[in-house]
Structure 1
C-alpha cells in the first residue's frame, strides 16, 4: 500500500449544513413505508387509499412540527424547489400589487435566481451578516412591493436574522414575508410573523428530495407552473411518498432532540471559534458570535487558496465546505461574504450534525493550523 504520509483516521463529516446524515428514525420510516408508499394516492382502489393515508399522516406531522395547519403544507422535490415556488408563486399571486421583491443581500442563490425575472430591491447587512432593519423598513414601504424574502439564518455565516422585526414592518405595509428556514428547522425555534416558509428535509437528517413549503391561509399564491389547480401549492406530478413519510418522522424526532443538541453543538462551535482565532494567524471568524445557529461556523484564512485548503483537509479525512462557493464554473466568491464585507479567501465552513463528537472537533483543530501553514509556505507567503 502506498504511504501517503497522512495518518489513517476514520473520515469525519463536517458538512451537515449541506446535508445531514440520515437520522435513524428516517431510515426506519423509509423502509417501513415502502410497502404502501409506492401507489398513487390519487387513486380510489385499496393501494391508493393506503398511500393517501400515509400522505395525510405526513402532512399532519409536518403541520404539527411547524405549528401550522395541514392544508397549509405542500411538498416539493427539494428545498430549492420549495423556496423558488414560494417566491415565484408569491409574486404571481400579487401581480396586481406590483412586481418587486424586497430581499436581504444574503438570500440563498435559489431565491435570487427565482427573482431574476422580476424587479428586486436588495437590503444590506452589517459585517456580522445581520439585516439592516432601517433599510428594510424603507424598502418595504416603497411602491410596487409584492413580496419580501428574508432567510431565517445565514447558511454561510450562521447569523440569525431579526425575522420577527422584519415581519412587523412587512405587516404594517401589507406585504407578505417569505422565510427560507432551511438551516433553522430542526436546530432553533422558528420565528413568527411570516406568510410563507420553506425547509429542506436533508438539512435536518431526512432523506434528500423532500422540500416543504408552507403558505398561510389568506396569502394569495398562484402557481408559476402548468397544473390543474393553479391556486393550490403543490408540485405537478408524483412525489417520493416513502421519502416524504421518512422526512416527517425524522423531523418529529429531531425536534425532540433539538434543545439538547443545540446546547451540545453550540459548545463545540464556541470551541472552534476560539481555537481557530488563537492558533491560525491572519484568520477572520465571520458571523455573529452570539445570535447564530448552534451548529455552523465559518472562517477565512488570508494568503490561502480555499480550494487547496478543502482538498488538504479532505486528504486528512475531514469533509468540510466552503462558504465562498467558488467553483470552476463561476470563479467568483460568495455573494453572502461580499455583502458582509468580510474576507473570502481561504474560506471554510464547518457545520456539525448529531453524530459529530468532541473528539472529531479536537482532531480537526489539531490538524488545521499545520495545513494552513503548509499551504502558505507553498504559496511563498
Structure 2
C-alpha cells in the first residue's frame, strides 16, 4: 500500500519520508532476519542471506562490488570511519588532508580531530554558488597528502561539485578521494574515480540508523577503532539486518522513481526559484542555478530572522529548514553560506520529497509573501 507524502513537507534534504518498499521489506526482515548472521545454524544462515542480498542490491545501484560495501550506524559514522581509516592507513605517505569549505559537519569534525592529533588540513574555498574550483582543489594536493574529501552535492544549497575533475586530479597525484554522497545517492549517479564513498539510507526513504561505507578495492584503509570481526572488520557491532534490507529495498525503488520524479521535482523547484524573488521583495536565491540537485533550493529573506520565518511557516503547515541545516540548534551562522559569501540571515531551504503535490507548492507561494511581509512589519522594517 502506498503511503502519501505528508502535505507541506519540504525537508527531504534532512530526511525523506519512508518509502513504501522500505516499510514492507523491514517488516518481512524483522520476521526472517533477526538471528545473528555470524552463526552457522539455520536461522542465522537465513539472516546472512538477507544481509548479503541487501549488500548486493546496494552495490548494484551504486555500481560497485558487493564486497566493497559495508553497513554502518549512520552516514556520519560512515564518514568518520572512512576518513579516519584512510588517514591511519596512509600515515607513511603523509598527514595532510584536503577538504572543501562547504563539506558536511561530519567531514569537518573529523578534519578537526585529525588536526588536533598533529595532522595538517587544507581547506579549499568555493565560489559564490558554493562550487569548488577544480584547479584550486588540484593545487591543494601535495606529495604528503594522505586523503582528499569532496561532497557530491551540497546539503544546504544543492550545488553539484566537480567530483569527476577532482577524482582525476587525485588519481594523477596518487591520493584517495572520499566522496560524501549523502544528498545525491539514489537521486543521481555519482561520477566515478573516487576511492571511498559514504551515504545515509534515510535520505532516500530508507530507515534511519543505516549508513553506507564503500571502500574500493586497492584503497588503503585500516580501522581507527578497536578490532571487531563484523562487516569485514570495518564496522564494529551486531549488524542491523532488517535495517540493511529495508535500506536496500528503498534505494532500489527510489532510484527507479527518480527517473521520472527528478525532472518533475526540478520543474517545481524552478517555479520556486523563479517566483519567490518576484513575489517577495529583497530576496536572494543562493546556490548554482543549473549545476544543482533537482529537488532543493535555498533563498534568503532580508530583514527577517530565519527562525521566526520557519516557525510561522510551520504554523501554516509547511515543514522547511534553515539553510544552516547542520547548525539549526545553535546560534552560529551556516559555515556553507559564510564560505559562499552570501547572506547568512533569514535563510529558508526548500527540499522536495518524492510525490510532492504541485498544489502544495501553490499554497507555499501564496503563503510566503504574506508571512514575510507580516514579520517585517512586526520588526518595523519596510522592504525596499
After TM superposition, list the pairs within 5 Å mapping 1:115-134 onto structure 2: 115-118=111-114, 119-134=120-135
What is residue 5 of structure 1 aligned with on the other side?
none
What is residue 298 of structure 1 aligned with on the other side?
298
Could you state the TM-score of these two structures normalised by the residue count of structure 2?
A: 0.94
CA–CA distance in 2 between the matches of 1:65 and 1:309?
38
Change over 3 Å in CA distance of 1:49–1:232 after alignment to 2: closer
- 1:355 deviates by 2.5
CA–CA distance in 2 between the matches of 1:335 and 1:370?
29
> Are 2:80 and 1:84 equivalent residues in the alignment?
yes
What is residue 33 of structure 2 aligned with on the other side?
37
CA-to-aligned-CA distance 1:230-267 (integer Å, 9 cap, x gap): 99453211122111101001111111121211100000
Aligned residues: 371
Q: Name the SS of the counterpart of 2:179 in structure 1.
A: strand
Please list every run of 5 or more consecutive structure 1 residues that lacks an aligned counterpart in the other structure.
Answer: 1-9
CA–CA distance in 1 between the matches of 2:356 and 2:344?
26
Contact in 2 for aligned 1:11/1:319 (Cα 8 Å): no
CA–CA distance in 2 between the matches of 1:367 and 1:267?
20
After TM superposition, list the pairs within 5 Å mapping 1:1-381 onto structure 2: 11-118=7-114, 119-140=120-141, 142-228=142-228, 232=232, 234-325=234-325, 330-381=330-381
CA–CA distance in 1 between the matches of 2:100 and 2:239?
31
CA-to-aligned-CA distance 1:320-350 (integer Å, 9 cap, x gap): 1111248586311110000001111110000
CA–CA distance in 1 between the matches of 2:230 and 2:247?
26
CA–CA distance in 2 between the matches of 1:266 and 1:135?
30
Q: Name the SS of the counterpart of 2:332 in structure 1.
A: coil
Contact in 2 for aligned 1:221/1:233 (Cα 8 Å): no
Q: Name the SS of the counterpart of 2:185 in structure 1.
A: coil
Q: Name the SS of the counterpart of 2:32 in structure 1.
A: coil
Q: Which consecutive aligned stretches of 4+ in structure 1 deviate over 2 angstroms post-superposition?
A: 228-234, 324-330
- 1:188 deviates by 1.3
Q: Name the SS of the counterpart of 2:220 in structure 1.
A: coil
Contact in 1 for aligned 2:71/2:211 (Cα 8 Å): yes
CA–CA distance in 1 between the matches of 2:232 and 2:339?
35
Q: Name the SS of the counterpart of 1:120 in structure 2.
A: strand
- 1:47 deviates by 1.0
CA–CA distance in 2 between the matches of 1:76 and 1:167?
24
Change over 3 Å in CA distance of 1:27–1:328 after alignment to 2: closer
Contact in 1 for aligned 2:9/2:318 (Cα 8 Å): yes
Could you state the TM-score of these two structures normalised by the residue count of structure 1?
A: 0.95
CA–CA distance in 2 between the matches of 1:256 and 1:143?
42
CA-to-aligned-CA distance 1:17-40 (integer Å, 9 cap, x gap): 100000000001011111121111
User: Root-mean-square deviation (CA), in Å?
Assistant: 1.5
Contact in 1 for aligned 2:198/2:211 (Cα 8 Å): yes
Please list every run of 5 or more consecutive structure 2 residues that lacks an aligned counterpart in the other structure.
Answer: 1-5, 115-119
CA-to-aligned-CA distance 1:287-341 (integer Å, 9 cap, x gap): 0110100001000111110000000000000011111248586311110000001
What is residue 117 of structure 2 aligned with on the other side?
none
CA–CA distance in 2 between the matches of 1:246 and 1:137?
38
